[in-house]
Structure 1
Amino acid sequence: MSVTESRVEMPPGMAMSTSATGPDLARLLMRPKGPPRGGVMIVHGLGEHIARYIPLASMLVEGGCVVTGVDFPGHARSPGGRGDLGSWEMVESIFDESVSLLRKEAGEHAPMGMVAHSMGGLLGLRYLQVRPEVFSRAWLSSPLLRPTGKRPPWLRPLVRALASVVPGLVLSSGVRTSQCRVVTEGEAPDPHFHNRVTVGWGVEMWRIESRVWAELDRLAPELQLLMTQGEADEVCPPGHARELFGKLGLRDKELKMLEGELHEPLFGAQAVMVQELVKDWFESRGLIAFD
């Protein structure tokens, strides 16, 4: 994998990366000034993008970590059909490349942390199951644990049938910005946001959901896990986070329920508090340190 110049305008810290195993993707890569203490992979949610996490990444870099993450295929500055990540195998290869980059930058045996939001939480959780040796610490923010949701019984067979014929058919995810955070008056919409998902990727997320819940025992018992969840989240209902938390057999797990918060507490009214919470948590687990 290499990072190359791109004609797509990129924020500082981002560039287009070429891959030997998958699509070229817009990648964030930030390095600390001194020797790295560890590495962190950030995983964004459906319809958003990695550049939103640059302030969080800056805090982690200040604490001594190399930080990386990508715009998934079909998101923001990465090519591809909107809302189409292809398959779990594609996602897994993207994560593998991020891990390889972190090990190259931070050291083969450096401690690794994960930050994953919403759909990224579902995908990150699956990766923690299939690669339990990689990450020792993880923060799941409002994870999308039940993408099937409350659907009419006839809908799933219909979507599966469509996916077998036209997997690239694009539908609305139904998620509105106002469900994610409070939108201020006169706020300009983010041009890199979308609320699209292909039927093929929707069915693939159902498959990933099934495996995540069936294989919770594949998580490394020594994994240190922080989960945060908005109490007023309509996108990923709080009950799903509580259900998962109750089933996890981890020795070090913590669930923070955030009163009044919607789907994106990191970008909501309590954003500063949430970042401080995460900072303190990673610092107390020895991944980051400040003078």
Structure 2
Amino acid sequence: MAETREHTLTGTRGALCVHEWPRDEPRYLALLVHGYGEHAGRYAQVAGVLGAHGAAVFAPDHVGHGRSAGERVVVEDFEDVVSDVHAAADLARAAHPGLPLVMIGHSMGGLIAARYAQRYGSELTALVLSGPVIGEWELPGRLLSLPEIPDTPISPAALSRDPEVGAAYAADPLVWHGPMKRPTVEAFARTLRTVDEGGDVGALPVLWLHGDDDRLVPLPGSRTGVERLTGGADGDLTVRIYPGARHEVFAETDRDEVFADLTAFLDRVVPH
């Protein structure tokens, strides 16, 4: 397993843990943005692929997640989370000045990464969205219409066809296995609207990865958001949809194909 380091930054709402997978003489920086209820440590395999491809990899645990401060899975304002991710990007750039920066956001991390690109897109060389929560996502509205949010945690089987992925998720003490919390659901609803209204990312190259059997973030709803974010026909959008794949395409049974698509995209857009 690749060497890892941890940094502690002062985040918008307390201590922010940033994971680093270092590399000697990297040719670009990769910033991983994890999803709801999980943590950046689950992305060690992705970091290994990117490191072998030439990246120094950094990844924050968001507020209320992983080893960062905050009540578990409570995100009151995603704008603060975007600011925390920007602090992690500053850490990466200070360690390796002048290198291109690629952002890779999964699920809730896709929402955060999309908003980051709207706020700081000029600092990015490319954006990768994996099963992103953007566009038409019905869950927040459905949950907020109820008097009490039900205690129905994410099913490990919804993540991947690989049963070992679900088993590891279920056994991970840093993963949240309880119900969603109302402030976070309200923040999701607000930020979905903000990203929808926030404009496109212009000529920034975007890679969208999605499983066509994603039951947590259904493909059609994300398509609406991705097309709006990338400006339709005017944007630089590469799409890869994986038949039969569930929510976590980087942990799916066809992950080798996913990683090959990722590195091929980066070969095209990252300067040599």
Range into which the TM-score falls when normalised by the shorter chain: 0.7 to 0.9
Distance of 1:239 and 1:277 partners within structure 2: 21
Distance of 2:260 and 2:214 partners within structure 1: 21
Correspondent of 2:58 among 48, 55, 68? 68
Distance of 1:192 and 1:223 partners within structure 2: 34
1:138 is aligned to 127
1:203 equivalent in alignment to 2:203: no
User: How much has 1:257 moved relative to structure 2?
Assistant: 0.9
- Per the normalisation by structure 1, the TM-score is 0.81
Letter in 1 for 2:54: G
Letter in 2 for 1:208: T
2:110 is aligned to 121
- Per the normalisation by structure 2, the TM-score is 0.86
1:156 is aligned to 144
Correspondent of 2:69 among 65, 74, 79? 79
SS of 1:81's equivalent in the other structure is coil
Letter in 2 for 1:254: T
1:27 equivalent in alignment to 2:18: yes
CA contact (8 A) 2:74 2:181 kept: yes
Corresponding pairs, count: 263
Letter in 2 for 1:199: R
Distance of 1:110 and 1:94 partners within structure 2: 20
Distance of 2:89 and 2:4 partners within structure 1: 18
User: How much has 1:211 moved relative to structure 2?
Assistant: 0.9
Runs of 4+ in structure 1 deviating by more than 6 angstroms, as ranges, are none
- CA distance 1:231–1:255, change in 2 (3 Å): same
Correspondent of 2:254 among 253, 270, 275? 270
Letter in 2 for 1:114: M
Structure 2 unmatched ranges of 5 or more: none
Q: Which has the higher helix share?
A: 2
Larger radius of gyration: 1
Identity percentage over the alignment?
A: 24
Cα deviation digits, residues 200-243 of structure 1 (max 9, x gap): 121011110001111233x2x22000001100011111102322
1:215 is aligned to 198
Deviates more, 1:184-193 or 1:274-283: 184-193
RMSD of Structure 2 on Structure 1 (CA): 2.5
